[in-house]
């Protein structure tokens, strides 16, 4: 552990590294996190993390390297720097790397990203949130509920040889609850927030329980083309994939269906998607990127036209554009994916849908080919049938086997209300609403007659 | 050297503060990583990470704590937090978590390296990637996008428990992964693949990665240019080891994880179509026996003692088509009145150990590979997949071929552009009527838990024949 204050240790590291390398980025973070996992209405495990780490990026003659330090005493720092010198001497140059950004910069605080009330939450209060969520689910008709509650407090400092110096604190609280009315009837809802005023665990529990109850007695679904209204938790993964595809790294690595599509139509004209690291209360909102560049809101798609890829300083130089503040010094990446709101409410969307399916969650999306966007995914939890704008029943055992560009082009309407989604299947936060998509391809398992019964 | 003193201190302190059971896992991992994108070296790096994970039982509840502050002051603060948290959680613990009684071992083991990771220099590791790039270029196949990554690690662990277990391990690992995009005739096709073994750089001798990646590029092009449509109607399908392996992992290994069966992954990886009363239920044919075995030397999922200090062994998950054993840790084993079968793994010191697979594969049968094709008038041989998909209860699975061929009158004939096997778990395993002799293994990175933990695994088996499968579109 550092024998001197954290920031002084980082200064020593930066100064030492600047003597040996052309470019240096030192990013230190301290995190305390708490998780409560609950299974079938009971707490199954609690978890506590307490960590301090420093990531160090260096470049010398375009040879780039990274490492992480946990010990910050001077001896350890000096040893690490010597090791890096030897390591980088034998590395190969990255001709795509130019430099890190020249600072210094002025940073704007992101609103609602730090709430001391989260840092002050007691163990009893955290258990109380879990209890309220579970009880709300049971009150609405669920038989059992499982999920996690997680809180985190972090502080970060970034210093670069380019003169950038930034620091920020952050808090977050998330609640994920999956309620079961029976094994095949479930609903999964989230509440994610950076400040307590936006945190609604009981509401998430109630919605999960209500959805589970409504999904009782599902029947096997049928294959074919179908119009679908997706809830935010379901559609968020698609929007996340769009943002991932908009990183110039993904484009170059063959992992993007947006390659060669700049300023061309890639979605219906109601689709506008931003990457926004400045989003107030955004789960990944941050003042600075990995080079210390102040972050921004970048339009990725506007009315269905691809407007920007995401860049860092080096990729921006190659493409003769400006950095979008999305470093990753090698791999630019999205922060918060924000889908512009629509203008309908859920009832109105159901009327627009008229006949089709209402899908509440998707799980296990796997791509055949990232360049074409062909994928399969499983509707998990409640899948409702909709007839003449009314929910009439529930289904199970279907798969969506389609193509992401097709999905985007067939988006017809969205809700005005949006939610922030962050969870097991959606690792980059997405803020989006209900989304109506026409003509989605459904497949299902081909089945043989029932094989032999139990053998004891 | 392991920080044994700190781990022992943590366990002792937890007991002093009232824990009924405690275990600590000290870990140090030294790792290196290198990558190449379209022939350009990307990022190279190394890490030397040390940390402590501690699990304690208090008032019937379980707390997992972790830190990379390697000093008694912080560990004390952490344990005290853990006790306070467990106290608060007690009101929502109706059934106390209890562990099966197990033989406690005091052992050390180390996976030997013939070509030590520490002796392979940085420039040589870059050369390995550069050679793959040259091989792909020399293949003559248009591969507009190529991403290669090479990594190695040495993980040292010390596990100690309040009921007397002490296990030390040193496990080195090397891995290589690639993603290539092949273009031809206005189309593209992609292939992701990874190789992963415990041991040193001698493992690369067996991988022959230059030939492997160049060969894959040629195969993708051939499938695009020469592939015909898959036949309609029920056909016999011969699945090569890669496809058999993924089916073993996804539709046997995962649903047999006992913690899933008890609902512990309900909001994450999902549950299972099996219940704890399904031991003895027939899922497949007599030809199908699937095991999970961490003790396969050199495997990606190798270990001799799990992260609860239980000795590892082979687990007979499905025996001649019948469910015979689940994957257990001490908690799930206790619930079923059994002993643990040593299936608890953790990605790193920050992760709690949960029930995981290791190396999951179909046991060999009696057929030579060519005998699997005999008598098939019209069928499909699926050699590798470019997409797999399965639901969270592990009932409905889908595989889309990357390399596939028609079988006509008992012989492999034309390439098939895209064969889609979308079937149920029962139909897959009960349609299997013949299994080959030669087992092959394939590496994977299995995701489970929240936060997500990646576990290096192998999956595999011999080739196997399925009768009367209807291919999808």
> pLDDT by residue (tens digit) across B134-189?
999 999 999 999 999 999 999 999 999 999 999 999 999 999 999 999 999 899 99
Residues of A within 8 A of B192 (CB-CB) are none
pLDDT surpasses 70 at A454: no
| B66 lies within 8 A of chain A by CB | yes
The C-alpha of A108 sits at a distance from chain B's nearest C-alpha, in angstroms, of 30
The answer to whether the Cβ–Cβ distance between A253 and B179 falls below 8 Å is yes
Q: Is the separation of the CB atoms in B260 and B448 below 8 Å?
A: no
Say how far apart CA B262 and CA A283 lie, in whole Å.
31
| B91 lies within 8 A of chain A by CB | yes
The answer to whether the Cβ–Cβ distance between A252 and B37 falls below 8 Å is yes
**pLDDT at A3 (0 to 100):** 45
Identify which of A71, A127, A366 has the shortest CB distance to residue B389: A366
**pLDDT at B2 (0 to 100):** 66
**pLDDT at A198 (0 to 100):** 95
Q: What is the mean pLDDT of residues B247-261?
A: 98
pLDDT surpasses 60 at A1: no
Q: Is the separation of the CB atoms in B351 and B53 below 8 Å?
A: yes
Most A CBs within 10 Å, among B21, B52, B92, B130, to test the A interface: B92
Residue-wise pLDDT for A265-289, tens only, equals: 999 999 999 999 999 999 999 999 9
**Is the whole model's pTM more than 0.90, yes or no?**
yes
Identify which of A43, A91, A397 has the shortest CB distance to residue B93: A43
Q: Residue A4: pLDDT band by 50, 70, 90 thresholds?
A: low
* Structural domains present in chain B: 4-226 (3.30.2290.10), 228-470 (no CATH)
Residue-wise pLDDT for A71-101, tens only, equals: 899 999 999 999 999 999 999 999 999 999 9
**pLDDT at B59 (0 to 100):** 85
Q: Is the separation of the CB atoms in A65 and A84 below 8 Å?
A: yes
Q: Residue B1: pLDDT band by 50, 70, 90 thresholds?
A: low
**pLDDT at A5 (0 to 100):** 85
What is the token pair recorded at A253? 């690595």
**pLDDT at A453 (0 to 100):** 46
Residue with the two structure tokens 């969307």: A349
Residue-wise pLDDT for B269-288, tens only, equals: 999 999 999 999 999 999 99
Looking at chain A, which residue has its C-alpha nearest residue B418?
A: A368
Looking at chain A, which residue has its C-alpha nearest residue B74?
A: A50
> Dihedral (C-alpha) B122, B127, B130, B134: value to the nearest 10 degrees?
180
Domain ranges in chain A with CATH number 3.30.2290.10: 6-214
The 3-class SS string of chain A reads: CCCCCHHHHHHHHHHHHHCCCCEEEEEEEEEEEEEEEEECCEEEEEEEEEEEEEEEEEEECCEEEEEEECCCCHHHHHHHHHHHHHHHHCCCCCCCCCCCCCCCCCCCCCCCCCCHHHHCCCHHHHHHHHHHHHHHHHHCCCCEEEEEEEEEEEEEEEEECCCCEEEEEEEEEEEEEEEEEECCEEEEEEEEECCHHHCCHHHHHHHHHHHHHHCCCCEECCCEEEEEEECHHHHHHHHHHHHHHCEHHHHHCCCCCCCCCCCCECCCCCCCEEEECCCCCCCCCCCECCCCCECCEEEEEECCEECCCECCHHHHHHHCCCCCCCCCCCCCCCCCEEECCCCECHHHHHHHHCCEEEECCEEEEEEEECCCCEEEEEECCCEEEEECCEEEEEEECCEEEEEHHHHHHCEEEEEEEEEEECCCCCCCCEEEEEEEEEEEEEECCECCCCCCCCCC
The C-alpha of A150 sits at a distance from chain B's nearest C-alpha, in angstroms, of 10
Identify which of A91, A177, A399 has the shortest CB distance to residue B122: A91
CA-nearest of B245, B248, B296 to B441 is: B245
The answer to whether the Cβ–Cβ distance between A455 and B87 falls below 8 Å is no
Looking at chain A, which residue has its C-alpha nearest residue B39?
A: A94
Q: Where are the beta strands (DSSP E) in B222-345?
A: 228-229, 234-239, 290-292, 315-319, 322-323, 344-345
Q: How many interface pairs between A and B have CB atoms less than 8 angstroms apart?
A: 285
Percent of chain B past pLDDT 90, that is, above it, reads 97
Q: What is the mean pLDDT of residues B458-473?
A: 94
The answer to whether the Cβ–Cβ distance between A445 and B350 falls below 8 Å is no
**pLDDT at B433 (0 to 100):** 97
Residues of A within 8 A of B62 (CB-CB) are 44-46
Q: Residue B233: pLDDT band by 50, 70, 90 thresholds?
A: confident
* 3-class secondary-structure state, position B162: coil
Q: Residue A450: pLDDT band by 50, 70, 90 thresholds?
A: low
Would you tell me which residues 25-64 of chain B have a C-beta closer than 8 angstroms to some C-beta of chain A?
A: 37-38, 40-51, 61-64
**pLDDT at B418 (0 to 100):** 95
Q: What is the mean pLDDT of residues A194-216?
A: 97
The answer to whether the Cβ–Cβ distance between B179 and A53 falls below 8 Å is no
- Fold adopted by A6-214: PmbA/TldD fold (3.30.2290)
Residue-wise pLDDT for B383-442, tens only, equals: 999 999 999 999 999 999 999 999 999 999 999 999 999 999 999 999 999 999 999 999
Element (H, E) at B20: none
């Amino acid at each position: 552990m550092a024998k001197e204050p954290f920031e002084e240790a980082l200064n020593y590291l930066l100064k030492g590294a600047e003597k040996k390398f052309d470019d240096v980025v030192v990013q230190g973070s301290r995190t305390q996190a708490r998780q409560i996992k609950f299974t079938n209405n009971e707490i199954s495990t609690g978890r506590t993390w307490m960590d301090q780490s420093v990531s160090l990026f260096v470049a010398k003659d375009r040879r780039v390297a990274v490492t992480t330090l946990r010990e910050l005493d001077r001896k350890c720092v000096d040893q690490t720097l010597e090791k890096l010198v030897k390591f980088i001497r034998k590395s190969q140059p990255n001709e795509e790397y130019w430099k890190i950004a020249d600072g210094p910069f002025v940073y704007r605080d992101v609103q609602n990203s730090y709430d001391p009330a989260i840092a002050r939450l007691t163990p009893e209060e955290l258990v109380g949130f879990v209890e309220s969520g579970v009880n709300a689910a049971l009150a609405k008709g669920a038989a059992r509920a499982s999920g996690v509650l997680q809180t985190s407090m972090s502080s970060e400092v970034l210093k670069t040889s380019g003169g950038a110096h930034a620091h920020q604190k952050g808090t977050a609280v998330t609640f994920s609850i999956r309620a079961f009315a029976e094994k095949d009837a479930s609903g999964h809802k989230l509440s994610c927030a950076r400040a307590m005023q936006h945190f609604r665990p009981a509401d998430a529990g109630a919605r999960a329980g209500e959805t589970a109850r409504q999904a009782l007695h599902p029947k096997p679904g049928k294959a074919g083309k179908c119009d679908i209204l997706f809830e935010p938790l379901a559609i968020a993964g698609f929007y996340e994939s769009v943002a991932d595809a908009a990183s110039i790294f993904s484009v170059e690595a063959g992992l993007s269906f947006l390659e060669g599509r700049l300023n061309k139509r890639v979605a219906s004209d109601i689709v506008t998607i931003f990457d926004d690291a400045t989003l107030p209360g955004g789960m990944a909102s941050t003042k600075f990127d990995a080079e210390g560049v102040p972050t921004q809101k970048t339009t990725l798609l506007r009315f269905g036209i691809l407007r920007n890829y995401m860049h860092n300083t080096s990729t921006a130089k190659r493409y003769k554009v400006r950095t979008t503040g999305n470093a990753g010094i090698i791999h630019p990446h999205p922060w918060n994916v924000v889908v512009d709101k629509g203008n309908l409410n859920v009832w109105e969307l159901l009327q627009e849908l008229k006949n089709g399916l209402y899908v509440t969650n998707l799980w296990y999306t796997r791509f055949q080919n990232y360049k074409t966007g062909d994928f399969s995914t499983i509707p998990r939890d409640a899948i409702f049938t909709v007839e003449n704008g009314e929910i009439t029943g529930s289904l199970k055992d279907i798969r969506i086997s389609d193509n992401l560009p097709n999905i985007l082009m067939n988006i017809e309407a969205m809700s005005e209300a949006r939610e922030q989604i962050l969870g097991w299947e959606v690792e980059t936060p997405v803020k989006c609403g209900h989304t109506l998509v026409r003509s989605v391809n459904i497949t299902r398992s081909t089945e043989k007659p029932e094989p032999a019964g139990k053998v004891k | 050297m392991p920080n044994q003193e700190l781990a022992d201190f943590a366990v002792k302190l937890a007991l002093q503060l009232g824990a009924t059971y405690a275990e600590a896992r000290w870990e140090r991992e030294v790792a290196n990583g290198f990558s190449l994108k379209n022939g350009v070296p990307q990022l190279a790096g190394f890490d030397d990470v040390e940390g402590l994970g501690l699990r304690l039982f208090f008032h019937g509840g379980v707390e997992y704590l972790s830190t990379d502050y390697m000093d008694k002051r912080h560990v004390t603060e952490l344990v005290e937090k853990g006790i306070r948290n467990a106290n608060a959680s007690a009101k929502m613990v109706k059934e106390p978590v209890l562990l099966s009684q197990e033989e406690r071992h005091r052992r050390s083991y180390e996976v030997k390296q013939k070509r030590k990771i520490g002796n392979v220099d940085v420039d040589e590791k870059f050369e390995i990637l550069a050679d793959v790039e040259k091989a792909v270029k020399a293949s003559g196949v248009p591969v507009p996008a190529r991403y290669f990554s090479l990594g190695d690690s040495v993980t040292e662990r010390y596990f100690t428990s309040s009921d007397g277990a002490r296990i030390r391990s040193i496990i080195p690992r090397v891995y290589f992964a690639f993603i290539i995009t092949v273009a031809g005739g206005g189309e593209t096709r992609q292939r992701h693949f990874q190789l992963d073994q415990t041991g040193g750089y001698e493992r690369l001798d067996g991988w022959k990665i230059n030939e492997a990646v160049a060969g894959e590029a040629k195969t993708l092009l051939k499938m695009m240019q020469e592939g015909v449509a898959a036949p309609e109607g029920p056909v016999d399908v011969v699945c090569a080891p890669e496809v058999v392996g993924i089916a073993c992992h996804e539709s046997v290994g995962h649903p047999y994880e006992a913690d899933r069966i008890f609902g512990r992954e309900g909001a994450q990886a999902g549950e299972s179509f099996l219940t704890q009363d399904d031991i003895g239920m027939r899922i497949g044919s007599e030809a199908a026996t699937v095991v999970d075995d961490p003790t396969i030397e050199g495997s990606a999922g190798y270990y001799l003692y799990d992260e609860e200090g239980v000795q590892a062994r082979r687990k007979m998950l499905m025996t001649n088509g019948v469910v015979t054993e689940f994957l257990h840790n001490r908690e799930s084993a206790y619930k079923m009145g059994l002993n643990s079968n040593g299936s608890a793994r953790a990605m790193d010191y920050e992760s709690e150990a949960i029930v995981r697979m290791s190396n999951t594969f179909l046991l060999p049968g009696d057929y030579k590979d060519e005998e699997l094709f005999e008598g098939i008038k019209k069928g499909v041989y699926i050699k590798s997949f470019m997409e797999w998909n399965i639901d969270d209860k592990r009932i409905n699975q889908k595989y889309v071929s990357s390399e596939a061929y028609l079988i006509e009158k008992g012989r492999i004939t034309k390439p098939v552009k895209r064969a889609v096997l979308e079937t149920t778990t029962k139909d897959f395993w009960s349609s299997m009527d013949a299994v080959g002799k030669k087992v092959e293994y394939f590496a994977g990175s299995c995701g489970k838990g929240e936060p997500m933990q990646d576990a290096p695994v192998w999956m595999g088996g011999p080739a196997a024949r399925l009768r009367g499968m209807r291919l999808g579109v």
